[in-house]
Structure 1
Amino acid sequence: MFKRIGVAALVSAALVSGQVMAVTGGGSTLPAALYTGAANSILPANFSYAGSGSGIGKTAFLTNNPAGFGTTGTVHFAGSESILSASELSTYNVNFGAAYGPLIQLPSVSTSVVIAYKKSGQTALNLTSVQLCDALSGSKTTWGALLGSSDPTPIRVVYRDISSGTSELLTRHLNSICPTQFATNATFTNARLPVGSSIPSNWVAVRNTLDVVPAVNAVDGSIGYSGPDGIAVTNNAVVARINGVLPTLANVSLAVSSAALPATPADPAQWVPVVANPASGYAISGYSNLLFGQCYRDAAVANDVRAFLAKHYSVPGNAVATVAHGLLPIPTRWKNAVTANFITNTTGNNLDINNPSVCNGIGRPL
């Protein structure tokens, strides 16, 4: 079964009377219910999180412009499955590095990208990665052409129409399998090759990950992709196997477990392993990430950020809530590495929040 949490539950603002939101963030909708709006959400009460999409989240954080979150002031953190590019890191360092200090990019939880479908007479859909490329690129337009039958039912694709980390995770895998059909891009229509090619009239664009499954269920012959929260990932009647494998937590763990720790901890790019086509486990697996500043001018914000990170990257930390939302805690060795570098500074790398030798007189604005 599928459950749907309303958008209002995903966008946390100062809804509690008298509550001042001191730490402002937002971004990816994939983990939004884990972060805020549910009984077992993990962000502290004075953290806000606007489920706006990964692209808006990254832009808001990188430019310190909270307009995309519908608020004002400083952007203290963001969530995104879309990995910071070399260009984004360079631009941030040029524009804000001296005033704000370094940024921190960390894997928050491991996730799958679930392929939801609705097809009458089909209760055990199993697609190869190549078939998934054909279905989502539009090179096969009917279910019969896709599965080798005479079924004339059109393939109706439900896709995200904003810059989406879920789209980036999906298209990274598709690009590794069928690079002539897909590039890696957070915008699905830019990932589908050739860029600018017309979208079939029966395809449907939706905004958030929670909009995908209802749109798939609305019309027979539909297929789409979303995060795993609230989806019965073991039910092959509504969730496709990919290469024979369902997106269970155990299969996600197999896919991401071999990732190596950063060789250069000061490089934010090394803290998010790329899992484009894992050797085992579920094929479309990866990470939902958090972006923070190392330096904050408001000492209270720095303390709040440090306390949240200390809890999240402890063992077991937020493991129970994470699993309840269909997500997977990152491996313990990664949690220990995050703690040693960014919280306790036991490595001596001086990467920890508000390290006095790095953040003296600089930081994200008050």
Structure 2
Amino acid sequence: MTYRIAVARGDGVGPEVVESAVQILNRISEVFEIEFEFKDVLVGGAAYDVTGNPLPEDTLNTIKGCDSVLFGAVGGDKWDDLPHELRPEAAILGLRKALKAYSNLRPGILYPQLKEASPLKNHIVENGFDICVVRELTGGIYFGRKRTWEDENGERAEDVEEYSREEIERIARKAFHTAMKRRKKVTSVDKANVLHTSRLWRKVVEEIHLEYPQVELNHMYIDNACMQAVRNPSQFDVILTSNIFGDILSDEISMLTGSIGLLPSASMGDGTEGIYEPIHGSAPDLAGLDRVNPIGTILSASMMLEHSLGLPEAARSIEDAVKKVFEEKYHTEDVFMEGGKTVGTKEITRLIAQNIEKGAN
């Protein structure tokens, strides 16, 4: 079987980190005898420069014929003055909408070898941690009614938070299903002491929990969750939360791992298609310098193998190869490692590729 992958390199460091992930997938192809067909598509500022659209119709048509999307990063100062709908960032929002990708899975893993890179004290992260944030992606305040107006008191603005039962049910099931593959614990994060949407959220989550009696469920207010992530991150397994709270909390957790460049993400709907991308931005100041950390994108490719292509053994082999490189004390400049060896984008990619083995566990 040949797996078709749309490759959306984007802007800034996007092309570099995606190229690293493609090299790793080519190594997977060799080791596991799997065929990949890569389809390059234009997105973001690069697409706007050529077509006047950050998400051209040709790109969407190609993606709809593929099994998954490997996405780099979009944006940069060059396009900051464009109208909102033509900015490079509109590409990722449009892509999520086209693929009905309502859930974002964002692992936050601190490898024990990198505990010195975390801003937390050693006794808190002695054994590392492994958290997966399941964030609702297409509803809530980011997609609610918005308006700006003037009255007798001057300018006013409004952003409306809204969730339907259906939206909460489907993201809750995604979180419980994810927890069943992990340590069977879900922490649902809301603000039910203040917000009506959070009260509905909590009610529906508790109802869906009845379908997953093997999973432990607890609730936590967003402000407490942010504090607890710093105080004791290892207490968390799967965190289920809304669009805006997930945006904030997942970025906090990313920094506790030592570098935003290490973290992957998957955006999915009910089907197997997904959008796999690192959580960092386009960082145009690092583009072309062989300095960017490609591991977030490489691990995004690993998530793609598992969640969209159904190749868990191949996915584990990438994760094991990354761990082995850390054990050998190789890292990029954004990661601090006592006594470590700093290497560039291409070299860290080569080292990971050479450590990929079949059945390494």
TM over 0.5: no
More strand by share: 2
More helix by share: 2
TM-score tier (shorter):
under 0.3
